Structures are given as structure tokens and as C-alpha cells.
Chains A and B, each alone.
Chain A
Amino acid sequence: MKTGDWIDLLARNAGPAPRAVAARRLWPAALGGVAVAAALALALPGQVDLGAVGAALWLKLGYGLALAAAAGWLAARLARPLATRVWAAGAALALVVAAMAVLGLVGWLQQPPPQRLAYLLGHSWTFCPWAVFGLSLPALAAALHALRALAPTRPVAAGAACGAFAGALAAIGYALACSETSSAFVALWYTLGVALSAAAGAVLGPRVLRW
């Protein structure tokens, strides 16, 4: 086919360009990712009395939501071929992690020294990061699928952003099955779970985000 004919074909009946393509693809991934992570988390063995978790539940949900918003923004920026304001979205993500780290540190310092290690490790520190990571995998698949239809030109960064986004969604779901009450625990082990998911996304990005 000649290029002129090809241009005719592309232009004919093209209609207006679609709008907000990244948001339209990432929102379903977010909602589906949270729903699946929450359902799987609630199916984990052992009942958790969320009333007894108290304010820590809201801290976990708030942290997960803030992380998801920042990482989702970053993924949406990196979904474009000419990615602008990446630094702003990346800074927002770093700020959320830093704010949680400060909260965790303050909580940790308020403990009497002999109890600080227990405050940090809780009773599930060996399980929590892996739970967040495992629960993030469906959301990671959905987020990468969403970005595949867009045009990321930095696949490692875009994959990592998808992973952080999925990890944050998983953290929201896992909060419903987690009985830990310390802010230092959330700041360290939840963040580690999200980081594992981001690393998986960075590895997968160059393999799946091809177009």
C-alpha cells in the first residue's frame, strides 16, 4: 500500500481523538485490583477483629490510598510517549513514603526502648510483605495490561510504577486482614511489600510493555 493511501485509510472516519486514555484504563485496574486483593485477603486463614485494630486500620487504608493515588499518577504520566511531569508524580510518591516513615519513626520513639523491637516487628513481619506482594499480582497484571494499550517509552520505569500502584492497591486489601497496630510496622513492612511489587513491575516492564 502506498503511504498516501495508508494516510487516507487512517484518517477516514477517524472521529475525534479519545480523551483521558490513561485514566480510563487505569481506573478499572484500580477498582478490580482492590476488589480482588480484598477478597483474597479476607479469605486468608484466621479471623481479624477490625474493631480491635482501631485507628491503625485507617492509617493503613490512608497510606494505601495515598500510595495508589501517587503511583497511579506516575503510571499515567509514564504511559505517554512524551512523559512530562514524571518528576512531580515521582516526588509525590516519595513524599507519601517519607510521611509514613516519619509517622512510623515517631511511634517507634514513643515506645520504651525495651519494647521498640517488638513494636517494629509485630507478630507478622515475616508474612506481611509477602502477603502484600502476592495480593498485588492480579492488580499488577491489570495495570500492565492497561499500559500495554498505551505508549510507554520508558518500560522499566513504567513497569515499576505499575508495580507500586498494584502494591498500594494490595495494601488496601490486606489492611482488612491485618491485626497489627503499630505505625512503624506499616511504615516498614507494608512499604517493603509495595517495593517488592514495584521491583516485579520493573522486571516485567521491558518484557510486556512493547508496542
Chain B
Amino acid sequence: MGGIDSLDDFENGLKPLWLRAQAGDESAYRGALARIAARLRGYFARRLYAWPDEVEDLVQETLLALHLQRGTYDPGLPVSAWMHAIARHKLVDLLRRRGRSQALLQPFDELDEAQHPAAAADARPAQRDLARLLQSLPAAQRRAIEWTKIEGLSVAEAAARGGVSVSALKVQVHRGLRRLAERVRREP
């Protein structure tokens, strides 16, 4: 999947799933994210060959950014182009945090995805423990995420359990994930 497809195949496979996901289809969203994760793994592995341990963390961080920013996707554009714009931004951000010059990145743009299929190898384990970071969120946000996204309560059930409105609960989940993204960026 993903890494060995040409960009066109990847886009053609992803777009229908993605559009259904944007409309609220949860299983399509899961499938789309899985394809994207495989693609990102290859993309980052080729560019972070000196730090293979960073790849899976960056895949997870980028998936979180894609999720938080999915409202900025414009249906008239290729999903893969939008996704790569975010992936590239996350890669540059990581290199900057690691003190590498952005100039180092320029030659990477010329890499041809299809010519390096082997680099899209199996996933190494992630170094960062997102479950532990989730525990560090403020209580209301942490509970909202645990109920709706780990225990699998519906948003309405979780809102009733928390004694808040449905929209307030959605805001708690979104703010919690945004705060998580900020903590991920600040981790060494």
C-alpha cells in the first residue's frame, strides 16, 4: 500500500475515501489515514535516513496535524498535494527544532517518490508515548478524549456523562488534541 504506488495511483485510491471521511464516514477516515500513514512513512524515511528513529514519531505528529487541519482541505485540490504540504512543513519544523538548516532540505524536493520504493519499509516503533502525553492534558480535555476516542462513547453519551453540552464536549476534544500537538512540538 501507499509507499510503492505512483503518486497518481495513491491519489486515485485516497481521494474517494478522503471525501467520504470529510463528510463524516468514520471507517473511510480510518482507511484514508492508514494509506496516508504508509505514504508518510516512506516520505519521511527517505529524508530522515540519518535519524530512522524519528520517522514514526513524525508520522504520528503529522497525522495529528492532518486531523486538526482537515477543515483547511479544499475539495478542488489533490489530497496528496495538501497532505504533502503539511508533511513538508512538519519535516522542516522538526529539522529546525533539531537545529538543522532549512537549506539542507532543498535537494530533498527533487527526490522522486516512485524511484525509492524500498525506503518505505516497515514501521519502527514510535519513541514518543502519546498515551502518556494524553495523561498530561487538563482533566476535562483528557476525559473528553478518553471517553469519545478511547472508550468509544458517542459524543452525546460523553456529553451526558461530563454534564456538558454536545458542542462543549466537541470543543474539549478539539482543544485537547490541539494542546497535545503543542506538547508534541515542545518535547525534545
Contacts and interface: CB of A to CB of B under 8 A. Distances in A.
Contacts of B14: none
A150 interface: yes
A79 interface: yes
B5 interface: no
A77 B58 CA distance: 26
A82 B74 contact: yes
B163 interface: no
A127 to B, nearest CB: 40
A211 B72 contact: no
A79 B89 CA distance: 13
B72 A149 contact: no
A151 B63 contact: no
B116 interface: no
B65 interface: yes
Given A1-B129, A12-B148, A80 B59 contact: no
A11 B67 CA distance: 8
Contacts of A18: 70-71
B74 A3 contact: no
B67 A81 contact: no
B155 A15 contact: yes
Contacts of B149: 9-10, 12-13
B49 interface: no
A84 interface: yes
Contacts of B93: 210-211
Contacts of A14: 21, 24, 26, 29, 67
A11 B26 contact: yes
A199 B63 CA distance: 33
B81 A82 contact: yes
A16 B37 contact: no
A15 B21 CA distance: 8
Given A1-B60, A80-B74, A151 B37 contact: no
Interface string B36-74: 010000000000000000001001100111010111111
B47 to A, nearest CB: 17
A1 B67 CA distance: 17
Given A81-B85, A81-B89, A82-B77, A10 B67 contact: yes
Given A1-B126, A82-B82, A151-B89, A12 B152 contact: yes
Interface of A: 1-4, 6-22, 79-82, 84, 149-151, 153, 210-211
28 contacts: A1-B130, A3-B59, A4-B34, A6-B130, A7-B34, A7-B63, A8-B30, A9-B145, A10-B29, A10-B33, A11-B27, A11-B30, A12-B26, A12-B150, A13-B26, A13-B155, A14-B26, A14-B29, A15-B170, A17-B21, A17-B23, A18-B70, A81-B69, A84-B77, A151-B69, A151-B86, A211-B65, A211-B181
